[in-house]
Amino acid sequence: MQSLTFYVHQTDSQPLRDAYAAQMIEQLQRNGHRRVSDPHQARFVLNLTDIQSPGIFRRNSRAIFVVSLVLASQPYSNLQAVCYQTLVRTLANLCLCVVPDAPDLNPDRSLPSAHIYFTTPEAGYYGLPFHPEQVFRRMLPIVGARFAIENSFSVDLPRAYWHHSAVVEQIRHYGKVLDELGVLPAPFPLQKFLNPDDITHLYQLFQVKGLSYGNLSAREAIPGLGGSTFWMTARGINKAQIGQIGQEVLLVKGVDELRGVVMVSVPPDYDPRARVSVDAVEHALIYRTFPAVGAIVHVHAWMKDILCTRQNFPCGTVELAREVVNLLQQTPDPNRAVVGLKNHGITITGPNLKDIFHRISHRLIRQIPMVA
């Protein structure tokens, strides 16, 4: 991986937290990554903040990754929930929580041993003993990944598809089925953790209306738009209540991975705030690689005896899309396969949505195994 620039954002002083942070910073620099004094020049930001009163680093671009580092100096009955709340409240891509095995610095000023817990927006959560090299190895693929989530809209959807499509009806139907199966989390209640200004900033930055998980897509060749188009659920919606075309479900024409842009075809009355699911780049690459795949479902659930990615890349990144495709190529039949996304969920391919749900409905496990 190429050298990355990073900025350290700090609004308070916590000697023990800062001592762990210093080891992480030293490890980054030892591996050729450069600390900068201007946050606008940074590829990612290390946000040193407080677990009880977390502070926000307000980035001006979604391409900048934010890693919030906090110290848990007291026991929590549900540390995972606290870490996820900290992730959301600091608008971060990754939350790192250090839990010391001893309450303070030793007399010889050496750091006490500790564990560090990783939390991602996809609800991935796992811990391991704190060691700067191990933290570096797990953090770098996340902060070095490249998003492909921008949307470019064209009002060129043929009139026949402005209000109805048989494929869209299938997506609506199976969105409700996912809800009935109990593997479709409701949108995350941001109002519980963020003030109105922070919510507005989050929505503007990531172009979402809410936080929810899971998505569905299915191919449909639209006359005049090429043979690789597919319908996909929009970002941040309740998949059990999929409404209008151009709002809750969108037609994807392709993805420009180099620019990180998804091309979307919409009717004249489309919602300009709508955005296709961040996993569109993954679905587009699967459809392009495997022409016989007609539908894809992604849920935050699990299944036994499946291949799994080695790294928990963030949703919406080119790296995750390529990793999933590489994994599908290792399955006996990529056109009808299930693969796991580490600490995240599963992606299922099939000739159509009916086939997918017939194969997986009785096998889904709601609890995702979390591993370091």
Identify the domain boundary among 143, 163, 192: 143
pLDDT at 104: 58
Over residues 1-22, mean pLDDT: 93
User: Do 47 and 169 reside in the same domain of the chain?
Assistant: no
Read off the pLDDT band of 337 (50, 70, 90): very high
| 183-197 pLDDT tens trace | 876 555 566 666 787
**pLDDT tier for residue 209 given thresholds of 50, 70 and 90:** low
pTM, two decimals, is: 0.89
Average pLDDT over residues 319-326: 96
Query: Do 317 and 182 fall into the same domain?
Result: yes
- Asked whether residue 334 is domain-assigned, the answer is yes
When comparing pLDDT for 328 and 64, which is higher? 328
pLDDT in tens, 138-178: 999 999 999 999 999 999 999 999 999 999 999 999 999 99
Same domain, 136 and 163: no
Q: Is the domain of 210 the same as that of 335?
A: yes
The answer on 135 and 201 residing in a single domain is: no
Give the residue-averaged pLDDT of 26-36: 97
Q: Which residue has the higher pLDDT, 252 or 195?
A: 252
Which of 95, 115, 143 finishes a domain? 143
- Do 256 and 136 belong to one domain? no
**Mean pLDDT, rounded, of the chain:** 90
**Co-location of 304 and 165 in the same domain:** yes
> Does any domain span residue 372?
no
Q: Is residue 60 part of a domain?
A: yes
**In a domain? residue 366:** no
Structural domain that includes position 99: 5-143
Number of domains composing the chain: 2
Residue 75 is assigned to a structural domain of this protein: yes
The reply to whether 319 and 211 lie within a common domain is yes
CATH code for position 247? 3.40.225.10
**Among 24-33, 69-78, 206-215, 339-348, which stretch is predicted with the lowest mean pLDDT?**
206-215
Residues 68, 108 within the same domain: yes
Does residue 369 form part of some domain?
no
Q: Tell me, what's the pLDDT at 295?
A: 98
Comparing CA positions, the residue from 191, 240, 243, 253 lying closest to residue 213 is 240
In this prediction, residue 339 carries a pLDDT of 98
Give pLDDT, residue 327. Answer: 97
Does the residue 230 lie in any domain?
A: yes
